[in-house]
């Protein structure tokens, strides 16, 4: 049985945060998920990028999270996070994700990204699913997510806790604006991101980890016929630019 055992939660941090344990925990979270379930996943740690060899990323890079044993077991890429958490989530099941790490903007490969002030923007080659999933990311794909000087918490985690304590039932628009203001006020330049499996009106939906399901409005499951990828500046053609590699040790980022 690969599911986490109670003793895992009392092991040293480096033992708990191995690739095997993180993947097992993700699978445990969505196992037997059904309509009416509300799930929550929070990751505050290290993130990086990995060259995309499949040709499915506009910028030429997969976003990743870094387990403690990444040097032996490898990174956990966005495709894998999507496959475990999102792909088979049933309609009527709600999942909220908070990723407080570097390069996390589209680290769940959700089809819709909210771009201030324009609104929802759809990925060029979206993979539409049935569940109701939203992800709050600490920064854009090309940004780094910092830590606060107070208790060495991630900036997004600190801002999220502060704003939810101040206003426990904000509209999505209120929360997104408040997170940006909080991060800027603390002197950081990273820009929190919001992505989703479904479009919705941020001015008319209250953020909650348990209430307020959005029904499936996607007409198809999977990639729409005829969708094609146009490589952007960071991934034009086959010769991809050099990027900062993943750190040799997680504590170096």
Enzyme catalytic residues? 46, 102
Which two three-digit tokens encode residue 203? 């001015």
SS3 179: helix
Whole-number Cα distances in Å, 36 to 128, 168, 171, 172: 20, 21, 21, 21
Nearest 10 degrees: CA dihedral of 221, 89, 23, 49? Answer: 40
Which two three-digit tokens encode residue 112? 């819709």
DSSP letter assigned to residue 222: B
How, if at all, do strands 112-115 and 119-122 pair?
A: antiparallel
- Order across the sheet with 47-51: list the strands: 47-51, 61-65, 76-77
Residue 117: cis peptide before it, omega within 30 degrees of 0: yes
Q: How many CB atoms lie within 10 A of CB 47?
A: 28
SS3 250: helix
* CB-count burial class (<10 Å; 0-12, 13-18, 19+) for 163: buried
Measured between alpha carbons, how far is 112 from 110 in angstroms, rounded to an integer?
A: 6
SS3 251: helix
């Amino acid at each position: 049985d690969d599911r986490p055992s109670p003793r895992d939660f009392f092991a040293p941090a480096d033992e708990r945060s191995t690739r095997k344990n993180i993947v097992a925990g993700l699978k445990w979270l969505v196992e037997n998920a059904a309509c009416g379930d509300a799930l929550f996943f929070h990751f505050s740690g290290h993130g990086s990028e990995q060259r995309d060899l499949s040709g499915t990323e506009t910028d030429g890079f997969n976003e990743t999270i870094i387990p403690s044993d990444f040097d032996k077991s490898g990174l956990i890429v966005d495709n894998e996070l999507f496959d475990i958490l999102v792909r088979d989530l049933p309609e009527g099941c709600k999942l909220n994700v908070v990723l407080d790490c570097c390069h996390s903007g589209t680290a769940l490969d959700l089809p819709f990204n909210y771009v201030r002030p324009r609104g929802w923007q759809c990925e060029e080659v979206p993979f539409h699913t049935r569940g109701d999933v939203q992800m709050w990311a600490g920064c854009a794909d090309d940004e780094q997510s910092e830590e606060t000087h107070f208790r060495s918490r991630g900036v997004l985690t600190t801002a999220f806790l502060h704003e939810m304590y101040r206003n426990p039932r904000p509209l999505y628009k209120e929360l997104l604006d408040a997170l940006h203001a909080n991060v800027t006020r603390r002197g950081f330049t990273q820009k929190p991101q919001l992505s989703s499996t479904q479009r919705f009106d941020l001015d008319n939906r209250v953020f909650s980890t348990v209430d307020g399901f959005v029904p499936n409005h996607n007409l198809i499951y999977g990639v729409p016929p005829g969708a094609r990828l146009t490589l952007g500046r960071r991934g034009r053609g086959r010769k991809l630019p050099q990027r900062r590699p993943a750190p040799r040790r997680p504590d170096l980022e």
